[in-house]
Amino acid sequence: MSNSAKIVSRKRGSGSTIIPMTSTQLLSNHNSKLGQTINNETTKVNVSGQALSTVTTKRNGKKAKEQLSPNKPVPSSQHTINHTESETKTRVSTIAALSLTSSVVPTELEGANIPMNPIEATHLQSRGDHGTHDHQHGGVSSQHINSIIEQHKRKTMWLRAEISLTQQAKSFCRRLAHLQLGDGKEKKNILTEAEVIYTSALNGKAHPQAETAMAAMYPLITARTGLESKRKEVDKIQLQSAKQLPPSITNWVETTAGFGFGSLAAIVGEAGDLGNYSTPAKLWKRMGLAVMGDGQRQRKVTGAAAREHGYSPPRRSVMWNIGDTMLKTQLRKVKDTDGNKTKETAAVGPYGALYLQRKAYEIATAQAQGLTVCPSAKIPKGKEDNYRSEGHIHNRAKRYIEKRLLRDLWRAWRITTLRLPTNVEV
């Protein structure tokens, strides 16, 4: 059953008929019972745990600002906000589409109060006067952190679904390419033709298999488009939530080239409150960058050692992508007198300079061990123990700046939480 529909039984004659109804139809019936009309009457919307000082609504084409008294008692510790019926319809449709609370339209539609979308409630809270800082403890409120974590998990879940739908669509194109080219063709040729079919079907280009491919892929592409739209909405809200963190954190982010609020939200989404980590080493362990007791790097292992490593590939990939972005921003190719790029690289930021220093150190260490540093493609087979690839050197230096980045972010966070000292040497 669709997430945006609910099965309702209506009597017809002597029997009854099961009729699927959309959230909009349910809301229409609900409002007709209450005698509500657009732009004249409003429906109260409950927002659990949210306190807003002002809300801007739209009535008869004009904006009106309503003042809500923070001292006014509200039943069940809930604050209420007035919205027009059209706004309520949009909100309920969003709830049904996102399936945030259940697989069907919430049962609260049968009552007088309609719960606000949790994503929207968090977004409204960030725009109101309700502070996101825990002034009593000098840190960041757990509610704010939990909202970023939830937004990150939801966005990640939808992104995985998008990738899965894309892979399913391309797998069908590969079958078409195999049928078109026939047996005996190399796999590379089949993959190339499959990509042509996929691109032609999406862009409406002429191809013998484009129409057939689009007919099969249409449900998948439609579902993917819906997921992408909702994911981008959550991404904007998560970005706004990250910008609402205390100034010591946001100022550090704004002055760090290559590291934005999206990266900050991703780290918080995976690690939670950074103030809960007593040392940077514990944060490194959480993000998959620790050095274990045997001197080996933290990695995915099996058996009894898996629990000790506690390695999560998704968390490690977050830092991998952040480090990659940092290097692209803080490193530049040196140009010659004619303006052509050379093989030399220059740093344009502190983390770029740190990367080059660490890379030189790794090369010197490898050579001191009697190893030859060269591209992996030039390493003779069977003699790998005598060489160290340039890619290996790059990854070690990149990992080093990722750890330094986390350490600096942890220090900026500790200033906010007032959990000194921040000058922990690691």
Q: What is the mean pLDDT of residues 285-313?
A: 88
Give the residue-averaged pLDDT of 317-343.
90
- How far apart are the C-alpha atoms of 164 and 98, rounded to whole Å? 18
pLDDT, tens digit (0-9, with 9 covering 90-100), for 162-210: 999 999 999 999 999 888 887 767 888 889 999 999 999 998 888 888 8
Coil vs helix vs strand at 353: helix
Spatial separation of the C-alpha atoms in residues 253 and 361, rounded to whole Å: 28
For residue 180, which of 190, 172, 170 has the smallest C-alpha distance? 190
Q: Return the pLDDT at 303.
A: 86
> For helices 23-34 and 85-98, what crossing angle results, to 10°?
150
Q: Which residue has the higher pLDDT, 310 or 123?
A: 310
Instruction: Tell me which of 79-88, 314-323, 372-381, 405-414 is least confident.
Output: 79-88
Mean pLDDT, to the nearest integer, of 251-273?
A: 95
**Cis omega before residue 421 (within 30°)?**
yes
Condensed to tens digits (0 to 9), the pLDDT of residues 228-239 reads 999 999 999 999
How long, in residues, is the chain?
Answer: 426
Query: Per DSSP, what are the bridge partners of residue 22?
Result: 5
Instruction: Return all residues near 360 (Cβ < 8 A) that are at least 6 apart.
Output: none
Q: Would you kindly state where each structural domain of the chain is located, as residue ranges?
A: 5-130, 143-244, 261-417
397 pLDDT band (50/70/90 cuts)?
very high
The token duo for 375 is 């591209």
pLDDT, average across residues 322-330? 94
pLDDT in tens, 101-141: 333 333 333 333 333 344 444 443 443 333 344 433 446 88
- Whether the per-residue pLDDT at 411 is higher than 80: the answer is yes
Report which of 3, 176, 181, 26 is spatially closest to residue 101, judged by C-alpha positions: 3
| Residue 409 predicted with pLDDT over 60 | yes
Q: How far apart are CA 185 and CA 170, in angstroms?
A: 18
Reply yes or no on whether the pLDDT at 259 is more than 90.
Answer: yes
- Chain-centroid distance of CA 189 in Å reads 35
Indicate yes or no: pTM above 0.95: no
- Return the pLDDT at 335: 86
pLDDT at 144: 92
Burial of 385 (0-12, 13-18, 19+ CB in 10 A): exposed
Confidence class of residue 343 from pLDDT cuts 50, 70 and 90? confident
CA-CA-CA-CA torsion for 317, 326, 281, 407, nearest 10 degrees?
A: -150
Tell me the pLDDT band of 53, cut-offs 50, 70 and 90: very low
Is the predicted pLDDT of residue 350 greater than 70, yes or no?
Answer: yes
* Amino acid identity at 117: N
Residues of the chain with pLDDT > 90, as a percent, come to 47
40 vs 156, higher pLDDT: 156
pLDDT at position 371:
94
Higher per-residue pLDDT: 82 or 384: 384
